[in-house]
Structure 1
């Protein structure tokens, strides 16, 4: 039963500008295609470490951190930039569902230690990469501001 204090999803989607929804959709197609390309290039065997998803989520975390720091420290840019790049491209590129499926494949292959290590390593690497992306972007921005135009 839906909560009465929340608008139905249909109403919430109608409240968003069509350009934001189009930006998310277009960016998502790009990001998901890139993720698919990496997964195809680096397929994971059952019971093996899913390197493609690990690299995708770690790289995506780094880029999300850098993007969000840049958009907040410098300027937000056009209204479609955050939905296109942050939610669309990088949201479509990173993947929680494939990460969970990789854990499940490892468990199905009786590789519980691998599943546990993969679960923690991926989250730790992605969060560390996001923090590193934010830190690096902020340092580069501060250096550019000190050096001037």
Structure 2
């Protein structure tokens, strides 16, 4: 149990660092004003989750799931930041933008997960 917890913690540190670097890079690329970094992290994280769930299951690698899925991707995907960004947009009076952000993020993330699964199944099957 302790080994699993340490594995998750290490993965979380990696994922959180990757999220910070992603947000910084995206903000530098497109500028502030809209939480594009969070969108990128959520969509990319969902895509990778789709790939990992298939690959780990097909290759007998579920022992790596706590580190990779819970730790790395749990630290990388940013749904708590997503919720905060949504509230900030609402508090700024940008409710239409907040609604588009919520719908777009959810639809793109679920789609990315499905695409990741389909691609991974095509590779490992």
TM-score over 0.5 for the alignment?
Answer: yes
Q: Which has the higher contact order (CA 8 A, sep 6+)?
A: 2
- CA RMSD in angstroms, aligned pairs only: 1.3
Question: Which residues of structure 1 form unaligned runs of 5+?
Answer: 1-16, 143-149
Give the CA deviation at 1:40: 2.2
In structure 2, distance between residues paired with 1:141 and 1:69 = 8
Number of equivalenced pairs: 122
Q: Where does residue 54 of structure 1 map in the other structure?
A: 39
Aligned partners of 2:119 and 2:22: how far apart in 1? Answer: 25
Q: Segments of 4+ in structure 1 off by > 2 A?
A: 40-45
CA distance, structure 2, for counterparts of residue 69 and residue 141 of structure 1: 8
Query: In terms of Rg, which structure is larger?
Result: 1
Match of 2:124 in 1: 141
Gaps of 5+ in 2: none
Q: Secondary structure at the match of 2:93?
A: coil
Q: TM-score, normalised by structure 2?
A: 0.92
Task: Say if 2:53 is the partner of 1:68.
Answer: yes
Q: CA deviation at 1:108?
A: 1.6
**Residue 97 of structure 1: CA displacement?**
0.6
Q: State the TM-score, normalized to the length of structure 1.
A: 0.77
Higher helix share: 2
